[in-house]
């Protein structure tokens, strides 16, 4: 019996030795050695993280200072950096990933997570800041609007604009439903034109984009206002906005800001949070003591009381 046990023990040791020899022969690395640590991943992505942090800082500074010049610089940087250089935008695919809880691996996509957190946090705090100056496509169409002569522009009547603004919510619902049923994300190429920054698409898609941009010449921010499902998603989220644009009592009758708003977000005394992209136009107006009726009334009262 002892001989049998000893024989089995020797057999096990021989098999183990052979297996170890085979492993050494193939030179397989240990799992711990093959997997880079978090610090190494952070070092590899440090440049991207720094670049995005710098861009986000520029966007926030332009927002808080209400500087039109800085806003245009931010949008130019968005087109060049987030658009053509990085091809990094918040897309409907990210919404699909959130629904399916199939998100990128954090360790290898730290910049994307920083970008996503920035977008969500700024939306909850101030509204659709992302749409107003960070989205590369939206920035491009706003810059295009600055170049196009005003005489070519067609102003959509208010009653049509208010109804048309719901189209993007319908597209959001339809694309989410399509993904929910089919689990196919390829529909994104047909509901958002952000693929243009990768410069890879079919001839038909480029032709469709050309039509969209041509239409944008006549109707400012056409896609963003009426067709963007990501804008609709952020619009829903912006209903939670904490710091909203303040209004004066004179806003009940004054129409200056409403006529100035390029996004159709001001309706009488009300600013519709889901449509407002925090473009700063109305905020600059109501801080202008030479144009805003509130300040003119305050000035007259001060003059009257001093007499």
Residue ranges of domains in the chain: 41-243, 246-307
pLDDT band at 303 (very low <50, low <70, confident <90, very high): confident
Eight-state DSSP code of residue 245? P
Helices (H), ranges, 165-221: 167-182, 188-191, 203-218
pLDDT at 293: 86
**Digit-coded pLDDT (tens) for 145-169:** 888 888 888 888 888 999 999 999 9
- The contacts found for 87-90 with CB under 8 angstroms, 24 or more apart, are 87/194, 87/197, 87/198, 88/112, 88/115, 89/135, 89/136, 89/137, 89/194, 89/197, 89/230, 90/115, 90/116, 90/119, 90/130, 90/135, 90/230, 90/234
Q: Convert the pLDDT of each residue in 178-217 to its tens digit.
A: 999 999 999 999 999 999 999 888 999 999 999 999 999 9
pLDDT tens, position by position, 93-127: 999 999 999 999 898 899 999 999 999 999 999 99
pLDDT surpassing 60 at residue 22: no
35 pLDDT more than 80? no
pTM for the whole structure: 0.82
Where residue 4 falls among pLDDT bands split at 50, 70, 90? very low
């Amino acid at each position: 019996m002892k001989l049998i046990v000893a024989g089995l023990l020797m057999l096990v040791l021989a098999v183990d030795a052979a297996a170890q020899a085979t492993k050494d022969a193939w030179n397989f690395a240990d799992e711990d050695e093959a997997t880079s640590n978090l610090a190494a991943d952070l070092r590899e992505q440090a440049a991207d993280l720094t670049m995005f942090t710098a861009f986000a800082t520029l966007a926030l500074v332009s927002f808080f200072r209400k500087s039109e010049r800085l806003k245009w610089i931010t949008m130019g940087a968005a087109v060049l950096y987030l658009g053509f250089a990085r091809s990094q935008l918040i897309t409907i695919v990210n919404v699909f990933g959130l629904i399916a809880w199939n998100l990128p691996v954090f360790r290898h996509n730290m910049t994307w997570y920083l970008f996503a957190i920035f977008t969500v946090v700024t939306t909850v705090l101030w509204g659709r800041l992302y749409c107003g100056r960070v989205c590369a496509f939206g920035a491009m169409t706003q810059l295009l609007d600055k170049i196009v002569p005003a005489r070519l522009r067609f102003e959509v009547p208010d009653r049509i604009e208010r109804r048309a603004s719901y189209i993007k919510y319908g597209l959001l619902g339809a694309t989410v439903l399509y993904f929910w049923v089919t689990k196919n994300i390829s529909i994104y190429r047909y509901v958002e034109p952000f693929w243009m920054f990768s410069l890879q698409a079919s001839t038909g898609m480029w032709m469709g984009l050309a039509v969209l941009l041509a239409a944008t010449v006549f109707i400012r921010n056409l896609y963003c206002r009426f067709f963007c499902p990501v804008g609709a998603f952020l619009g829903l989220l912006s209903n939670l906005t904490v710091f909203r644009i303040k209004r004066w009592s004179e806003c009940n009758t004054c129409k200056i800001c409403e006529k100035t708003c390029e996004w159709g977000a001001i309706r009488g005394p009300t600013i519709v949070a889901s449509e407002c992209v925090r473009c700063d136009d109305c905020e600059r107006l109501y801080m202008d003591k030479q144009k805003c009726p509130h300040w003119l009334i305050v000035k007259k009262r001060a003059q009257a009381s001093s007499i």
